[in-house]
Amino acid sequence: MNTTTNATTNTVKPVTTVGIIGAGAIGQAIAKQLVRAGIDVILSNSRGPASLAGAVDALGPRATAGTPQQAAQADIVFVSVNWSRLEEAVAGIDWTGRIVIDANNPVLLPGYRLADLGGRNSSQVFASLVPGARVVKAFNTLLAAVLASDPHEGGGRRVVFQSGDDREAKAVVAGLIERLGFAGIDLGSLEVGGALQQFPGGVLPAVNLVKLG
């Protein structure tokens, strides 16, 4: 069962809704997988809900359009936006206790240049922008078309890596990964695993692995 843990009461409840901040290729790819698995989605971007009417219609009745603030009220919040707009995208939201999936890559365009991260990796920077959140790095290493495709391939399941410093949050995200049909691999902390997952700079982005058995 896929669950979230209430940090105050220590009770567990099923994940029913995932909010997505960023409706680009990665955001829409994960939305497709979520609705396929029977999970409701609140899709949001910087241009407002009206701009997402076509995307929501294509996803079906489990998807709705909302603001980033509305998306951030979901059981799990998935963030994937252009790095240059990331700080603005997550500002003004109370992130305390929320499980947040960091699917961002610190890419500056044109040229796919690495952003100035001040000696940290991108997940550590992201965590500083969402104070109080329980950050898990995941779903950023696969190309959008691959992420949107059937995770079952060649008799196995496509691998999704995750990293984080909160054990319970990682367990919840691991459950989500399994529920979507992927095979999860835990890389450890944001410091270690986040560096391995980072694009550019890490060794794992665009690596399409399938776990057999």
The pLDDT of residue 182 is: 98
The pLDDT of residue 109 is: 86
With a cut of 50, say whether residue 41 has pLDDT above it. Answer: yes
Q: Quote the Cα angle for 22-98-184, to 5°.
A: 75
Work out the average pLDDT over 82-99. Answer: 97
What rounded mean pLDDT belongs to the chain?
94
Residue at token pair 């359009």:
65
* pTM of structure: 0.93
pLDDT tens across 68-81, in order?
A: 999 999 999 999 99
With a cut of 90, say whether residue 15 has pLDDT above it. Answer: no
With a cut of 60, say whether residue 139 has pLDDT above it. Answer: yes
The pLDDT of residue 128 is: 98
Under CATH, to which class is 3-212 assigned?
alpha beta
